[in-house]
Amino acid sequence: MSQGHPPSVFLALCIYVVEFLTGAIVMSFEMLLSDHLAPYFGSDIYTWASLISTVLAASCVGYFLGGVLADRYPSPRVLGAMLTVGSVYLLLLPSFDEPVLQFFERHIDDIRLGGLAAALAIMFFPVMLLGISSPFAIRLLLPSQHNSGVVSGTVYGVATAGCILGVLGTPFFLIPLIGPRAIGLALGIVGILAGVVLIGAGAAMREDAPAPGDPRITGQGQRKKIET
């Protein structure tokens, strides 16, 4: 995306919706993993401290990484690819989460450290990839610095609203209705769909971009020359 050209309304809407879904997925995943860790490490304050600190650490790395990638590759397709990879992980998680939890339960005597290690092993990678989305979204939505406060505030506000939905919706409604396994699969599918939408929107944006020699570009150049 070239500097100074705002994104289309469709692309901006896609990015904001994806931000909302990403926030919901991360928090729902945290609520879900608390249910997975409880049989092995309990559900006391130490387990929740492990979960929360893991989410914060992964988000921290994701924010830094997202900022670097966004400046180097400012394309919705790159963001969509990162979200897709993280969501595929969520789909595959049921195939290996129990062996991982059992491994840490058997090899770490301290239940507090065991829970923290298990949370890091299972949660860090996907949450880091999902955490890339916020700085990336700001970069894609921000053609200039004139409205940087509005754009960044809206991005984080929308993402936080999704977090609230994930925190309340998962234990209050989803777990009683469909169970943890189905929730994990649903989170992965929703994340993959969001990534695919961004990849498609990025491809459409590239096709609509004027090529060198296009009258839209040459006309702008001629007008600039006339003005000078």
pLDDT band at 2 (very low <50, low <70, confident <90, very high): very low
pLDDT of 63 > 60? The answer is yes
Give burial (CB, 10 Å; 0-12/13-18/19+) of 163: buried
Closest CA to 123 of 143, 148, 93: 93
* Cα–Cα dist 12/28, whole Å: 24
3 located within any domain: no
* Cα–Cα dist 94/155, whole Å: 31
Mean pLDDT along residues 168-185: 93
* Cα–Cα dist 170/33, whole Å: 11
109 SS3 class: coil
Q: What does the pLDDT read at residue 209?
A: 53
26 located within any domain: yes
164 located within any domain: yes
Q: What does the pLDDT read at residue 104?
A: 96
80 located within any domain: yes
What is the domain-level CATH number for residue 54?
1.20.1250
Q: Is there a contact between 103 and 172 (Cβ–Cβ < 8 Å)?
A: no
DSSP label at 186? H
How many separate domains does the chain show? Answer: 1
> Across all residues in the chain, what is the average pLDDT?
88
Q: What does the pLDDT read at residue 208?
A: 57
Q: Is there a contact between 197 and 77 (Cβ–Cβ < 8 Å)?
A: no
pLDDT band at 203 (very low <50, low <70, confident <90, very high): confident
Chain segment 86-120, per-residue pLDDT in tens: 999 999 999 999 999 999 999 999 999 999 999 99
Give this prediction's pTM.
0.86
Lowest mean pLDDT segment, chosen from 69-83, 96-110, 189-203, 207-221: 207-221
**Domain around 181:** 9-227
Q: What does the pLDDT read at residue 6?
A: 64
* Cα–Cα dist 194/19, whole Å: 9
pLDDT of 152 > 80? The answer is yes
1 located within any domain: no
